[in-house]
Amino acid sequence: MFLQLMIIVTGNYNFFNLLTMTLCLSLVDDDFLLGIQRRSGKPGKLRTLANVAARTIALAVYCGLFYGTVKLFHLRFDNNWALHSKIGFTSAKLNQFLGSAMPILMWVAAASLAFHILVSFYRSLVNEKGVLSKIFSTLGTIIMGTAAVWVFCISLVPLSQLDAGMNRKLWPTIRTWHYKVEPFHLTSPYGLFRRMTGVGGRPELVLEGSDDPNGPWVELPFLYKPGDVNRSPPFIIPTSLG
Between 205 and 174, whose confidence is greater? 174
Please determine, for residue 92, whether its predicted confidence score (pLDDT) is greater than 80: yes
Highest mean pLDDT among 139-143, 221-225, 229-233: 139-143
What burial class does residue 20 get, using C-beta atoms within 10 Å of its C-beta: 0-12 exposed, 13-18 middle, 19+ buried? Answer: middle
Please determine, for residue 240, whether its predicted confidence score (pLDDT) is greater than 60: no
pTM score, two decimals?
Answer: 0.61
Domain boundaries defined on the chain: 1-30, 43-88, 89-190
Asked if 240 and 12 count as a contact pair (C-beta separation under 8 A), the reply is yes
Please determine, for residue 106, whether its predicted confidence score (pLDDT) is greater than 70: yes
Between 118 and 30, whose confidence is greater? 118
Sign of CA dihedral 142, 143, 144, 147: positive
The total of other beta-carbon atoms located within 10 Å of residue 160's CB is 21
Residue 30 DSSP class: G
Between 214 and 110, whose confidence is greater? 110
- The pLDDT value given to residue 115: 96
- The pLDDT value given to residue 241: 52
Q: Give a three-class secondary structure readout of 154-187.
A: HHHHHHHHHCHHHHHHCCHHHHHHHHHHHHHCCC
Average model confidence (pLDDT) for the chain?
83
User: Quick one: which H or E segment has residue 24?
Assistant: helix 16-25
Q: Report the percent of the chain where pLDDT is more than 90.
A: 36
Please determine, for residue 143, whether its predicted confidence score (pLDDT) is greater than 90: yes
